[in-house]
Amino acid sequence: MARSLDPLVVGRVIGDVVDMFNLVTEFTVRYGNKHVANGCDIKPSASASKPRVQILAPPLSSNLYTLVMVDPDAPSPSEPKYREWLHWIVVDIPEGSDATQGKELVPYRGPQPPTGIHRYVFVLFKQKNGAVMAGTRPPDARNNFRTRLFAAENDLGLPVAAVYFNSQKEISVRKR
């Protein structure tokens, strides 16, 4: 399974956003019919609405998960002074279901990269002992969010899965 972490290392998700971890849970992220795979390209217009995030496991346990989505390249990959820009947090997602079954702690905000190619990272954490996080306070701001710090403050430990896609500003065509 370590081989499937390679794209996260090459894409600098491990290092810039999270520390090395073991993949122990599978999940899928889809924008419409577009499946998010590590390093794939998705236009901002195609990712403006919330994706469907499915935790792939039989819904037989009381395990709950937290999903965090960030942009570590804000405002630009060459000068990420707002690293990480928070796009979404959903807590208390039951195992075997999708993110709509959890509690949205921070509302979804789609990618709007101003310049350069940005990475948009989904990080999944398993909540310890099925603990409910409904009382968790949302961060004060979206800029300079720290996934590692959020995980530590909420006793989430290391991630159990992650995936990312790339996106860049779309060129608008003006009609004369």
What's the pTM? Answer: 0.92
Tokens representing 7?
Answer: 């794209």
Cα–Cα distance between 22 and 74 in angstroms, integer?
A: 27
Quick: pLDDT tens for 105-144. 999 999 999 999 999 999 999 998 767 776 788 899 999 9
Residue type, 57: A
| Residues in the chain where the model's pLDDT stays below 50 | 1-3
Residue 43: CB atoms within 10 Å: 14
> What order of strands is seen across the sheet that includes strand 85-94?
40-41, 161-168, 117-126, 64-71, 85-94, 103-106
Tokens representing 80?
Answer: 């990420």
Predicted pLDDT at 77: 94
* Average pLDDT of the chain, as a whole number: 91
Query: What domains can you pick out in the chain, each with its CATH number?
Result: 5-168 (3.90.280.10)
